[in-house]
Amino acid sequence: ETGVTQTPRHLVMGMTNKKSLKCEQHLGHNAMYWYKQSAKKPLELMFVYSLEERVENNSVPSRFSPECPNSSHLFLHLHTLQPEDSALYLCASSQAQGAAYEQYFGPGTRLTVT
Amino acid sequence: QKEVEQNSGPLSVPEGAIASLNCTYSDRGSQSFFWYRQYSGKSPELIMSIYSNGDKEDGRFTAQLNKASQYVSLLIRDSQPSDSATYLCASQRPMNRDDKIIFGKGTRLHILP
């Protein structure tokens, strides 16, 4: 596979469930990101991992828990979510060093919280 | 608050014409700029990046950057119905572990057949 992949592509979960989103990048990058995209809002950065170390946490509620075991894999663990957490969750990757900071996105996970 | 501003649209352009998308940014320290295309229900796709003042051309796309005016634009020549999408503008400071890309809300472009 090439590029950035995400699984699952669609997820419906109840507010008491626990689930995880998975992202994998095949681009040799060493920075990975989680974004949330809701209708009519700009992309909201949730977490950044650079060289496997978390460097950004934009005041995201603790019901979202990221995990980055290595530079190619990123997880987002979800528990006791709220209906307003329903959105498209996007993973992206880039180089952590150098002049360019081009981010490449995965296809996203469409999450619905019931 | 660092921001990237775009007109939300929709911007309607006849097929074959030039579509012009504009973006302004507030952070004077920004040095890298990106245009992403996002089809409905899909993820953003990087189509252009620009780092220096002036024009950068890639096929039917031309990105223009004016740092003095804090202005970025994207021109799409010979617009096609397949160009109908939301276009996201983004800016970023020089590479630093703590600097992140700032995205605009996007402009919806509709190419009229």
- Say which of B43, B103, B105 has its CB closest to residue A107: B43
Segment A24-63, tens digit of pLDDT: 999 999 889 999 999 878 888 899 888 777 777 778 999 9
Whether residue B34 lies within 8 A of chain A, CB to CB, comes out as yes
Q: Quick check: B7 pLDDT over 70?
A: yes
Closest CA–CA distance from residue A82 to any residue of chain B (Å): 22
pLDDT for res B57: 97
With bands split at pLDDT 50, 70 and 90, how would you rate the model's confidence at B95? low
pLDDT for res B98: 56
Mean pLDDT of A66-87: 94
Residue A103 and residue B44: Cα distance in Å, rounded?
A: 10
Q: How many CB pairs under 8 A join A and B?
A: 55
pLDDT for res B99: 64
What residues in B contact A5, CB-CB < 8 Å?
none
A45 near A56, Cβ under 8 Å? Answer: yes
With bands split at pLDDT 50, 70 and 90, how would you rate the model's confidence at A106? very high
Residue A4 and residue A102: Cα distance in Å, rounded?
A: 13
Interchain contact, A42 vs B44, CB within 8 Å: no
Question: Residue B32 corresponds to which amino acid?
Answer: S
pLDDT for res B102: 87
Query: What is the CA angle B53-B55-B56, rounded to 5?
Result: 110
Q: Quick check: A110 pLDDT over 70?
A: yes
B76 near A16, Cβ under 8 Å? Answer: no
Mean of the per-residue pLDDT values of chain B:
92
**B81, B46, B80, B49: which is closest to B62 by C-alpha?**
B49
- The chain B residue lying nearest A9, using CA atoms, is B42
Whether the bond between A61 and the residue before it is cis, its omega within 30 degrees of 0, is: no
Mean of the per-residue pLDDT values of chain A:
89
Closest CA–CA distance from residue B104 to any residue of chain A (Å): 6
Mean pLDDT of B88-93: 90
Q: Quick check: B55 pLDDT over 80?
A: yes
Selected residue of A40, A103, A104, A109 to mutate for chain B interface (largest B Cβ count, 10 A): A103
Q: Interface of chain A against chain B, CB under 8 Å?
A: 40-43, 45, 48, 50, 55-56, 88, 90, 96-108, 110
What residues in A contact B100, CB-CB < 8 Å?
45, 48, 56
Whether residue B71 lies within 8 A of chain A, CB to CB, comes out as no
Segment B26-38, tens digit of pLDDT: 988 888 999 999 9
At A98 the three-state DSSP class reads coil
Interchain contact, B49 vs A107, CB within 8 Å: no
